[in-house]
Amino acid sequence: MIYTQNYQPLAFPLLSLLFAALPVIVLFALLVIKRSPVPLAAAGGAIAAFVVAVLVYRMPLSMAGLAFLNGALFALLPICYVLIGAMLLYNITVETGCFDRIKASVAGLSPDHRLQAVLIAFCFGAFLEGAAGAGTPVAICAAMLVGLGFKPFQAACICLIANTSPVAYGGFGTPLLTLEGVTGIDIRTLSHMAGNQLPILSCIVPLWLVRCMCGWKETKEVMPAIMVAGGSFALCQFIFAHSSAYPLTDLAGGLISLVITGTFLRYWKPKRIWRYETQSAEAQADESVADALIKQHTAPLMPLKEAISAWMPFILLCILMVAVGVNKKKLDSLEIGPVKGMYTLHIAGLDKQIERTPPVVEKNTLEAAVFKFNWLTTPGTPVILTVLMVLRLLKVTREQLRIVVKRTANQMLIPVPTIVFMLGLGSITRLGGLDATLGMAFKNTGVAYPFFAAMLGWLGVFLTGTDAGSNALFGSLQKITAMQIGLNPTLITVANSSGGVMGKMIDAQSICVATAATDQVGSEADIFKFVLPHSVMLAAIIGLLVLLQAYVYPFTLMVPH
């Protein structure tokens, strides 16, 4: 039986739009207004999506259930898999004392929290996003910042904001590869367009990051370091995006930016050290208290050899991630007897049973529902391999391992079911056709559509939890709409990805990863309310840039033809 999606299931388009938005409304109301536990809020949103899909969109009951299962499988692998591995690795470094040495190496460069946020959340986070994505940067970097003295809430929010501009090239360019698959536009052309948008954002994000932490006066004090970090990353991003090595854009940009900024901080220091502890009323009133706090967290500059030794667990992680990413195609196609590098599960009763129709796609298309179990190349595997190597490297005892496993299991009790419900919700909205109803509402904005193209991508990431998911959701719709109203399809489809990256900081999946990593499960609503305005404003900046590139010279020269 074929289920053909109907994008206006009710007689009144506005009523159809309201029902399509109901799962998001329920999720928001439970999470932010009722302050329900986040798994309950996610479950409520998923149930609302299921009911609307079945009763309003007339999706067969069995298909709606299988659609939820499709999303849940993706939630478990790769997202929960990589999150569990990342937290195991972090907890091992804490339990063995290795993390104290890492903190000392960073404090030796600067005990200033503003600079530590730029180094860890922005530079190192961009590298991890390029290598793996799937929540890895937020999980590892947020936990590291807490270890450096950041309050858990602050660490979570900072890492969510920082994990934006690199996302379009995350996981060796997976989002843009997905966009190529649904639009038919060559990946090199898409990369060129993204390379003419995202570097501008990369210069803004570290500045925005620090400004979220403190006032303008304190931000200006570290402006040289901000410019070095943002400028070096943006330049690398621009160069690699326009080259044949575009999959390495984030890897190279994050690594080079980290090295250049770290080297810069060996020779340049701000006039005064700023830490969250020094902003207390007592420290503000008594300089000796502030000085004592700064002295307590100041470490001598660590020799390079010792710093490399301290960072060895994460160096091993980076090496394995790069090795797996570069050899992904070979490893996925590997077959040794009955053992394969990737197993493909076609979900019976769902795969090729759902038909998308114009104007969402160019021609009637049967949607695939395939779960790819690429156990060798999924980001969680190099993380778990790193964990196994670090167990020997750091000589972890059985008692230490027991403590680490127990702590990690407790940290995962809430995030795992939440992520499962959220990805299930996203899968139902996509396969049921609810997403297209929401997306088509943006189509009626006329000449302002370039701005709303970016906002549509932002909505897609909020719904699916990934930039690749948003591109799969709305990429084809963006291209078709652009052609219908006479806009460049490359510009508009890439706007979906560039605008979408700003939705990463508000999707429930990322927020759950952040709260799990910082051990503050239950504060998801507070984090959501904090990052939401930043997410909207940064997405609007991308929207305005796309609007200029669509109509205003010389910005129009930035669009490849």
Check whether 285 has a pLDDT greater than 60: no
Check whether 289 has a pLDDT greater than 70: no
Q: Tell me the HSE value of 553 on the side-chain side, using a 13 A CA sphere.
A: 0
| Distance in angstroms (rounded) separating the CA atoms of residues 542 and 553 | 17
Which pLDDT score, from 0 to 100, does residue 262 have?
87
Q: ∠338-320-70 over CA atoms, to 5°?
A: 55
| Distance in angstroms (rounded) separating the CA atoms of residues 75 and 421 | 8
Instruction: Give the helix/strand (H/E) hosting 30.
Output: none
Check whether 263 has a pLDDT greater than 60: yes
Which sign, positive or negative, has the C-alpha torsion 318, 320, 325, 326? positive
Domains contained in the chain, number: 1
Check whether 388 has a pLDDT greater than 70: yes
Which pLDDT score, from 0 to 100, does residue 288 have?
65
Judge contact between 373 and 71, C-beta under 8 A.
no
Q: ∠116-507-8 over CA atoms, to 5°?
A: 155
Confidence label for 299 from pLDDT (cuts 50, 70 and 90): low
Quote the mean pLDDT of the chain. 84
Confidence label for 377 from pLDDT (cuts 50, 70 and 90): confident
- Choice between 292 and 186, residue whose per-residue pLDDT is larger: 186
| Distance in angstroms (rounded) separating the CA atoms of residues 161 and 212 | 9
* Least confident piece of the model among 16-30, 48-62, 108-122, 515-529: 515-529
Question: In the chain, what are the helix, strand and coil shares in percent, each to the nearest 5?
Answer: 75, 5, 20
Q: Does a cis peptide bond (omega within 30 degrees of 0) precede residue 78? A: yes
| Distance in angstroms (rounded) separating the CA atoms of residues 417 and 76 | 9
* Least confident piece of the model among 285-299, 484-498, 523-537: 285-299
Which pLDDT score, from 0 to 100, does residue 545 have?
92
| Distance in angstroms (rounded) separating the CA atoms of residues 124 and 266 | 17
Which pLDDT score, from 0 to 100, does residue 22 have?
92
Confidence label for 135 from pLDDT (cuts 50, 70 and 90): low
Question: Rounded mean pLDDT of 32-45?
Answer: 82
264, with CB counted inside 10 A (0-12, 13-18, 19+), is: middle
Which pLDDT score, from 0 to 100, does residue 438 have?
76
Judge contact between 346 and 410, C-beta under 8 A.
no
User: What residue numbers bound the domain in which 411 lies?
Assistant: 3-558
| Distance in angstroms (rounded) separating the CA atoms of residues 505 and 465 | 9
CA 42, distance to chain mean position in Å, is: 18
Task: Report pTM.
Answer: 0.75
